[in-house]
Chain A
Amino acid sequence: MTDKKIRVLVAKPGLDGHDRGAKVVARALRDAGMEVIYTGLRQTPEMIAEAALQEDVDVVGLSILSGAHMALTPRVLELLRSNGQMNVKVFIGGIIPDEDLSRLKELGVTGVYGPGASTEDIIRDIKIAMAG
């Protein structure tokens, strides 16, 4: 098996302690044939960027339910860029109000998924982003 695997970091920044959603997504991406690095709860943006670098991932998936997405996301994006990982696509899942969507996209987030989003959509969007 020498084909290039899609490597995804699934991380939970911030202080909320609910990682069920992150685990569901991790499992779904695994079943879609991706290699998912799961880092657990309460990660700082610095920890996430460091893990993304060491693991040379293609995608970072952030699960944020605390409402702190407008503080945490820009910091993660900035650190990824300053580490030279401009190529990494960032996806967000969680409770994200509609009015923040356009700002997040402007910052460079590739996809945002709220409650009820289907894992098939996430998988499809990751594959499109990788192909493009």
Chain B
Amino acid sequence: MTSSESILRGDRLALARLLTKVENDSPDGRATLIELFPHTGKAHLIGVTGAPGTGKSSLVNQLALHYRKAEDKRVAIVAVDPSSPFTGGAVLGDRVRMRDLSGDPNVFIRSMASRGSLGGLAQATANVVQVFDAAGFDIVIVETVGAGQSEVDIARLAHTTLVVEAPGLGDDIQAIKAGILEIADILVVNKADRPGVENTEKSLKSMLELAHPTTRVFKHHGTYMSMSMPESNQNANLWIPPIQKTVSTEGKGIPELVAAIARHVQHLRSSGDWTLRERTRLEVELEALIRDSLMTKFREDISSQQYEETLEKVIQRNISPWEAVRMLLNGRLK
């Protein structure tokens, strides 16, 4: 039986091993991804992001429990934690908060190290998500590294992005800065039993009232990609991110959060945004792949000696980097 057949039949060991191959971008893993691609596009991808310590892992644990118990959905979780920039090693600790999910064959948790990627996800996260999608998981929850203000890759990957906040993490100026709050489809104020929750909720509310963009512009590896709302219903059917209060250690507010997620899916479907997001996601992925393969082709095409010589000229200030590019690409990629 081929690897892809085993995955489609629900073999968990084959799935775990394929995830490793995909994470390492091995040729074997790539071949299986190609075979599995026609089976993707069915899962609902939920992104969970927010600052470290806001309770993302505990929230993911509760969401998954709810989807299992109340809706009998198969749930995969991809939990990304940072790699050390110095040694490349990582301690992946998100499972500590997810012990309630063990023993359930319809839950699969996979920890990933970011491996030098800076957008809050690892390079291979999108492909890992595709494998879970093909393997028949109804819901794939992606938990990003503890994110600050610019780790917004998740918004391109997920259908529904939850941004998790907690009381006491900054004033209302933080809330009007650009970045992570903007990507929220749903804002979650976790640890809502703590003092200061009213203030957090108030500043998020005022942030939402100040502005709501009708066009989303995504920056990906230096390229801006814009994703506008369908023109027909730009105002009529605008999604205003709701603010949901939760206490995930006690499971409070979880059914309400799940209901809000369901409303968001409905909105995506009825507004045409679902197709648009799928399109943007695949376009971004295609572009990244083209960039990778052009780079590989370029490296094959140019001897390292020629490359080093040109680099040396730039270092000596004999030529500028722009001229160097022109020289190196001369006659290629016409």
Is B truly associated with A? yes
Residues of A in contact with B (beta carbons under 8 Å apart): 1-5, 7, 26-27, 29-40, 43, 46-47, 50-51, 53-56, 83-85
Q: Map CB proximity to A onto B87-131 as digits: 1 under 8 Å, 0 otherwise.
A: 111111101100100110000111101011000000000000000
Nearest-Cβ distance from residue B91 to partner chain A, whole angstroms: 5
When distances are taken between beta carbons in the complex, the residues of chain B under 8 Å from A53 are: 12-13, 16
Contact between A5 and B110 (Cβ–Cβ < 8 Å)? Answer: no
Say yes or no: A47 contacts B99, CB within 8 Å: yes
Residues of chain A within 8 A (CB-CB) of B17 are: 56
Chain B: CB-nearest residue to A48: B102
Contact call B24/A47, Cβ cutoff below 8 A: no
Task: Give complex CA distance A57, B129 in Å.
Answer: 19
User: Does B158 reach chain A (CB closer than 8 Å)?
Assistant: no
* Contact (A37, B95) CB under 8 Å given A5-B88, A31-B84: yes
Q: Given B24, B96, B116, which contacts A39 in the complex, CB threshold below 8 Å?
A: B96
Q: In the bound complex, do residue B110 and residue A55 qualify as a contact, i.e. CB atoms below 8 Å apart?
A: yes
Q: A5-B113, A37-B111, A56-B16 in contact; A46/B102 too (CB < 8 A)?
A: yes
Does residue B20 face the partner (Cβ distance < 8 Å to A)?
A: yes
Nearest-neighbour CB distance to chain A for B9, whole angstroms, equals 15
Q: For residue A4, which residues in chain B have a CB less than 8 angstroms away from its CB?
A: 24
Chain B residue at smallest Cβ distance from A29? B89
Q: Are A47 and B84 in contact (CB under 8 A)?
A: no
Chain A residue numbers with a CB within 8 Å of B12 are: 53-54
Q: Is B19 an interface residue (CB 8 A)?
A: yes
Q: Are B95 and A39 in contact (CB under 8 A)?
A: yes
Q: Cβ of B13 and Cβ of A84 under 8 Å apart?
A: yes
Asked if B89 contacts A47 (CB within 8 A), the reply is no
CA distance A96 to B110 in the complex (A): 31
Most-contacted residue by chain A among B12, B83, B88, B95 (CB, 10 A): B95
Contact B16 A54, beta carbon cutoff 8 Å: yes
